[in-house]
């Protein structure tokens, strides 16, 4: 058991899915994992382990924002033996070509947060996905029409009132979310594998948003791709 995760030794698989929303963790456990057992309810940040096609897989909520994710991911890597972690999250598109309902495989995750510079003495570090997980996710996503592989940016602000988006659009960043950069950075420091598979839930520039049907269908696609990538690695 660690400070924020009430699992006993061995209760968490070395392969894990990481949604921001703890209720998405519950939904994944109920719909994708056989024999899922809940191992965490501290702060209602639910975590479960079950089997997917015969293999043990866990799913753990991480909360919103880089600091919250960093707490859960650090404990999972340091104290619960996790080796491969895939974030399954929503994001807001910022390019014309990224549409609501699309899937994004985040090859890199920039950030406006200062959180990494504490570890690098101010140097820039380029947080990136594990190539094996990315390749497997790309393979698994080929059956879906609208998939992008590229950079996202993990932002401190959800309601950003600055001109940051314009600069990110110019650099080809596909979408905004709030955690992947920290997942990739912690994984790099600890020699673990990480990836973020994201569903575009809204468009930050056009304000288009997903309806309930689309949300369910595309969240299913995202989970299917992430589970296939975890199984292959």
Ligand X SMILES: O=P(O)(O)O[C@H]1O[C@H](CO)[C@@H](O)[C@H]1O
Q: Where are the beta strands (DSSP E) in the chain?
A: 15-18, 34-40, 47-52, 55-60, 84-93, 103-111, 147-154, 175-177, 193-203
In the complex with ligand X, the residue whose CB is nearer, 19 or 50, is 19
Name which of 81, 89, 82 is nearest 28 in CA terms: 89
Interaction partner, residue 92 (ligand URA, ligand X, none; CB < 5-8 Å by kind): ligand URA
Do the beta carbons of residue 201 and residue 117 sit within 8 Å? no
One of 40, 58, 70, 90 touching ligand X (CB under 6 A): 90
**Number of chain residues interacting with ligand URA (CB under 6 A):** 10
Residue 158 touching ligand X (CB under 6 A): yes
Span interacting with ligand X, options 16-24, 114-122, 144-152, 167-175, rule CB under 6 A: 16-24
Q: Which of 130, 157, 6 is nearest to 72 (CA)?
A: 6
User: Which residue, 12 or 180, is less far from ligand URA as judged by CB?
Assistant: 180
Decide if 202 is catalytic.
yes
- Half-sphere exposure (Cβ direction) of 154: Cα atoms closer than 13 Å: 32
Among 11, 75, 130, 179, binds ligand X (CB under 6 A): 179
Find out whether 7 and 76 touch, Cβ atoms under 8 Å. no
CB of 94 to ligand X, least distance (A): 14
- Which of 176, 195, 219, 230: binder of ligand URA (CB under 6 A)? 176
Among the listed ranges 45-53, 104-112, 188-196, 198-206, the one in contact with ligand URA (CB under 6 A) is 198-206
Q: How far apart are CA 142 and CA 159, in angstroms?
A: 33
Determine, following the binding rule CB under 6 A, whether residue 221 of this chain makes contact with ligand X: no
Choice between 152 and 227, CB closer to ligand URA? 152
Give the other-Cβ count within 10 Å of 213's Cβ: 9
Instruction: Supply the DSSP string of 136-174, one letter for each residue.
Output: HHHHHGGGSS-EEEEEEEE-S-SS--SSHHHHHHHTT--
Residues whose CB falls within 8 Å of the CB of residue 67, separated by 6 or more in sequence, listed in order: 115, 182
Q: By CB under 6 A, is residue 115 in contact with ligand X?
A: no
Q: Shortest gap between Cβ of 188 and ligand URA (angstroms)?
A: 22
Taking CB under 6 A as the rule, does residue 158 contact ligand URA? yes
CA 160 to chain centre: 21
Which listed residue (29, 33, 45, 91) binds ligand URA by CB under 6 A?
Answer: 91
Instruction: Kindly name the residue from 124, 202, 211, 213 that is annotated as catalytic.
Output: 202
49 in contact with ligand X (CB under 6 A):
no
Tell me which residues touch ligand URA (CB under 6 A): 90-92, 158, 176-178, 201-202, 204
């Amino acid at each position: 058991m660690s400070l924020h995760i009430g699992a006993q030794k061995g209760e968490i698989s070395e392969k894990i899915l990481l949604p921001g929303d703890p209720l998405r963790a519950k939904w994944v456990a109920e719909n994708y994992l056989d024999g899922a057992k809940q191992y965490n309810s501290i702060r209602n940040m639910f975590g479960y382990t079950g089997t997917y096609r015969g293999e043990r897989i866990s799913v753990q909520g991480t909360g919103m924002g880089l600091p919250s994710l960093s707490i859960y991911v650090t404990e999972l890597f340091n104290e619960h033996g996790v080796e491969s972690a895939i974030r399954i999250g929503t994001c807001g598109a910022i390019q014309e070509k990224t549409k609501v309902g699309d899937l994004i495989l985040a090859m890199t995750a920039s950030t406006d947060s200062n959180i990494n510079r504490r570890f690098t003495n101010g140097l820039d570090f380029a947080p990136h996905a594990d190539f094996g997980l990315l390749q497997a996710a790309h393979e698994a996503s080929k059956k879906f029409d609208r998939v992008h592989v590229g950079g996202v940016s993990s932002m401190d602000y959800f309601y950003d009132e600055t001109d940051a988006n314009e600069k990110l659009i110019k650099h080809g960043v596909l979408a905004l979310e709030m955690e992947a950069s920290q997942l990739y950075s912690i994984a790099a420091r600890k020699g673990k594998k990480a990836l973020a598979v994201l569903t575009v839930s809204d468009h930050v520039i056009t304000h288009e948003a997903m309806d309930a049907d689309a949300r369910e269908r595309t969240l299913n696609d995202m989970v299917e791709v992430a589970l296939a990538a975890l199984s292959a690695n």
